[in-house]
Every structure is written in C-alpha cells, then in structure tokens.
Amino acid sequence: MSTPVFTSVDDARDRLAATGYLPSDAIATTVYLAATLGRPLLIEGPAGVGKTALAGALASATGNRLVRLQCYEGVDEARALYEWNHAKQLLRISAEQRGDWEDVRTDIFGEEFLLARPLLTAVRSEQPVVLLIDELDKADEEMEGLLLELLSEFQVTIPELGTIRARHRPLVVLTSNATRELSEALRRRCLFLHIDYPDASLEQRIVQSHVPDLDDVLAESLVRVVGALRRLELRKAPSVAETVDWAGTLLSLGADRLDPRLVRNSLGVVLKHQSDIELAHAKLDLDRELAG
C-alpha cells in the first residue's frame, strides 16, 4: 500500500500553510480528499483568488515537481500531449534511403522521436508529480475530450506506441475561471472546489503573512477597503495578490494608517482600468469604510 500524501485534513492544512498558502477549511478538506482518493481536483472561481497558487503550494507541500499545461484557445494534442519530431524523422529517413521502408517506418515512430508535452510528461514521470491544467475554460471543448482518458485511467494512448499508463498516479489540479461551462463528463471525474475571495479575517492573515511588518490596524483597514471595491461593478475586481501588493506599497510609503487621499493616490495598485478607478472615486464612501 502506498504512503498517503496527507495523514489528515489538519496535516494538509498545516503543510499548505508552511508553504505560505493559508487554506480555508473547505480548501484543506477538499485537497486532503483529492489526494487520499486519488481524484483530480477541479477548482473554479474568479481570477486572482489563488487557484493556480494552490497547485504550486500542493507541489511544494508534497515535495513533488509541478508540471503545468497552460490552456488557451487553440491548444491541441500536439501542444498538450505529444508530437513527433518530424525534423529528426526526416533525417533518419534520409539516412536510410536504401534500407527497407517497413523497418524505417517502425523505427521513426519510436520513443527516440517522441516529443512529450505536459500531459505525457506527467504520465511518464519516474517520480510523483502535481499536474496543473490551468484555465481549462480558455481551451476548446475538444481539449476536454482529450483529457477524459487521462482523468479516468491515468493513461494516454498513442496509436503508434499503444497505451502508456502512469508510473505514479499524479495529483491533478484543473482550474477554471468559469468563462464557459465545462462538460458533465469531465466534472464527473473530478472532485469540485469553488474558491471565492476570502473573508476579511482570512485575507488579513494572508496579507500579514506576506507583509509581516504591516500594522494590524492598517491591514484591517486595507482589507475592508478592498472588500468595498469588490462590491462595486468593476471590470476587474482586485485579486488577493493585488491586496498583498497594495499592502507592500503602503509599507514602502511609510504609511501607518489609511486616509482617503492615500487610497485615491494609490488605487492604481489594485485597479487596472481607468473606468474602475473613476467608479471607485465616484461610488466609494471612504470616510465610512475607513471609519469601520
């Protein structure tokens, strides 16, 4: 029997926290279950809430290598799974022009000519890995079909070579910003976790873990203002990483408290569109938010 990745939910929480990722109870529980049951983990939520960071933290917490497939429109089997090294194949064919074609054809579709992409790399890895399939919703629906065999059996089929089974069952993390609906077939194969923006208490802990010199009162005020910004109808709401950036900015400015003028002058750290900054100036009641 293989050694469990985590011994308990508390073990998962503590080891993730040791990497600098502070998980909620729901995150720690779902990560523990995914690792214990050997199930892929599908994480959905808005951009900037720590979905990709969780995969990196999971790799660090387990001591496993992170293999990442970044999805985008048009990503296909050749970029995700494998392709043949055509230049090297042509060189071999040229070198064997007088040889038997059947022998040459068999030879050029061997391991020597195979270029492994992230999915095949994870399957063939000699050591356990964490496989991150990032922003799957940006890929075409055909990509989901390609993943079904991998997520069900942890194997891939290459027509010229046959079926290649994973030497070690990878910890698979799929992320989605929910810009399109993923198929039910893919969802059935995964445990599901929705990550939203953290509550104020957790976000303050996250900020102070990254910016430990930040005063408690300043951190609390900062998180409260970010929460108020997220309640506005912005083109892009501030991510947790941008909250941390803002905390570092305030610290570098020598601020010991937030005031309306400081907030307005530094909004560009957390808001990335002029229309959002203008909306914040018009709609945000800073006197009320800063007063708590």
Which two structure tokens, joined as six digits, stand for 68? 């990442």
Q: Are residues 217 and 280 in the same domain?
A: yes
Q: What pLDDT score does 184 carry?
A: 95
Q: What pLDDT score does 55 carry?
A: 97
Residue 1 lies in a domain: no
Q: What pLDDT score does 1 carry?
A: 43
Q: What pLDDT score does 128 carry?
A: 94
Q: Inter-axis angle of helices 101-108 and 86-95, to 10 degrees? A: 150
Q: Which is more confident, 160 or 149?
A: 149
Q: Which is more confident, 252 or 89?
A: 252
Mean pLDDT, rounded, of the chain: 88
Residue 87 lies in a domain: yes
Q: Are residues 156 and 23 in the same domain?
A: yes
* The total number of structural domains that make up the chain: 3
pLDDT of residue 61 exceeding 70, the answer is yes
- Any residues with CB less than 8 A from the CB of 254 and at least 6 apart, and which? none
- Any residues with CB less than 8 A from the CB of 199 and at least 6 apart, and which? none
Handedness of CA 58, 60, 65, 70 (dihedral sign): positive
Which two structure tokens, joined as six digits, stand for 144? 């989901």
pLDDT of residue 132 exceeding 90, the answer is yes
- The pLDDT-based confidence of 82 (bands split at 50, 70, 90) is confident
Residue 2 lies in a domain: no
Rounded Cα gap, residues 290 and 222, in angstroms? 9
Which two structure tokens, joined as six digits, stand for 261? 């003028």
One-character DSSP codes across 63-74: TPEEEEEE--TT
Q: Are residues 49 and 184 in the same domain?
A: yes
Straight-line distance from the first to the last Cα atom of the chain, in angstroms, rounded to the nearest whole number: 54
DSSP annotation of 5: S
pLDDT of residue 111 exceeding 70, the answer is no
The identity of residue 64, as a single letter, is N
Query: Of 137, 167, 194, which closes a domain?
Result: 194
Which two structure tokens, joined as six digits, stand for 92? 């071999």
Q: Are residues 163 and 268 in the same domain?
A: no
Q: Are residues 156 and 57 in the same domain?
A: yes
What is the residue range of 103's domain?
82-116
DSSP annotation of 139: S
| Residue 172 burial (10 A CB sphere; 0-12, 13-18, 19+) | buried
Q: Are residues 46 and 134 in the same domain?
A: yes
Q: Are residues 109 and 132 in the same domain?
A: no
Q: What pLDDT score does 83 carry?
A: 79
Residue 269 lies in a domain: yes
Residue 105 lies in a domain: yes
Q: Are residues 153 and 208 in the same domain?
A: no
Residue 3 lies in a domain: no
pLDDT of residue 100 exceeding 70, the answer is no
What share of the chain in percent tops pLDDT 70?
88
Q: Is the CB of residue 279 less than 8 Å from the CB of residue 267?
A: no
Q: Are residues 213 and 234 in the same domain?
A: yes
**Long-range contacts formed by 26-32: CB under 8 A, 24+ apart:** 26/193, 27/54, 27/193, 27/195, 30/191, 30/192, 30/193, 31/6, 31/58, 31/193, 32/6, 32/8
Residue 149 lies in a domain: yes
Q: Are residues 150 and 252 in the same domain?
A: no
Query: Of 140, 170, 194, which closes a domain?
Result: 194
Rounded Cα gap, residues 234 and 219, in angstroms? 23
Q: Inter-axis angle of helices 216-230 and 200-210, to 10 degrees? A: 130
Query: Of 146, 176, 194, which closes a domain?
Result: 194
Name the pTM for this structure: 0.84
Q: Are residues 103 and 169 in the same domain?
A: no
Residue 258 lies in a domain: yes
Q: What pLDDT score does 286 carry?
A: 75
pLDDT of residue 101 exceeding 80, the answer is no
pLDDT of residue 151 exceeding 70, the answer is yes
Q: Which is more confident, 212 or 114?
A: 212
CATH, residue 146: 3.40.50.300
Q: Are residues 38 and 89 in the same domain?
A: no
